[in-house]
Amino acid sequence: MNNTVLTPDTELVEGDRVDLENDPYADPKHDHPYFESEYVEIAGAEPETPGCSRVDFEGTASVGFPPEHQVAVRVKEEDEQDVIPAWIGALHSGDEVRWNDPDRGRCNRTYKIRSIEFIGEVVRITDVNGDQLECLASELR
């Protein structure tokens, strides 16, 4: 089961996964496609000024937050494990897999796998053309 806790941005650390959908600073117009359907991983965080902490995210821009702004952080239960479905774990070089873009399907695409690796619940695929994809297992068909 996925839990979230509100954490002041000053306590965020690299590797934390946060939900920024509709956050008043990260997603003020409620339209950022990257925040719409997934947690974003923290790449780094540090104070910039007394009134602003900069938080860097994997795969998207940095955001400045005021002191003690709280964000929802995903916390794993002690007994929770990252689960990759068996059919995805069995994929290998030469197989084809369909990625369903969570941004309303705008970039749906089929990949012919050259290499595949699993990082927790994230799947990293390099296709035979050299294109790379990092996605959640639930986005693959």
Give 48-81 pLDDT, tens digit per residue. Answer: 898 888 888 877 778 998 877 888 887 665 555 5
pLDDT averaged over every residue in the chain: 82
CA distance 21 to 33: 9
Closest CA to 18 of 65, 91, 84, 71: 71
d(C-alpha 55, C-alpha 1), whole Å:
26
- Give me the CATH code for the 86-139 domain, please: 2.30.30
- Considering the entire predicted model, what is its pTM? 0.52
What is the C-alpha to C-alpha distance for residues 135 and 102, in angstroms, rounded to an integer?
Answer: 10
In the chain, what are the domain boundaries?
Answer: 2-76, 86-139
1-60 confidence digits (pLDDT tens)? 355 666 666 788 888 888 888 889 988 888 887 777 678 888 888 888 988 888 888 777
Amino acid occupying residue 125: I
pLDDT band at 126 (very low <50, low <70, confident <90, very high): very high
Taking CA atoms, 110 is separated from 72, 115, 134, 141, in Å, by: 33, 14, 14, 9
Mean pLDDT score, 76-96: 74
Task: Give the model's pLDDT for residue 89.
Answer: 82
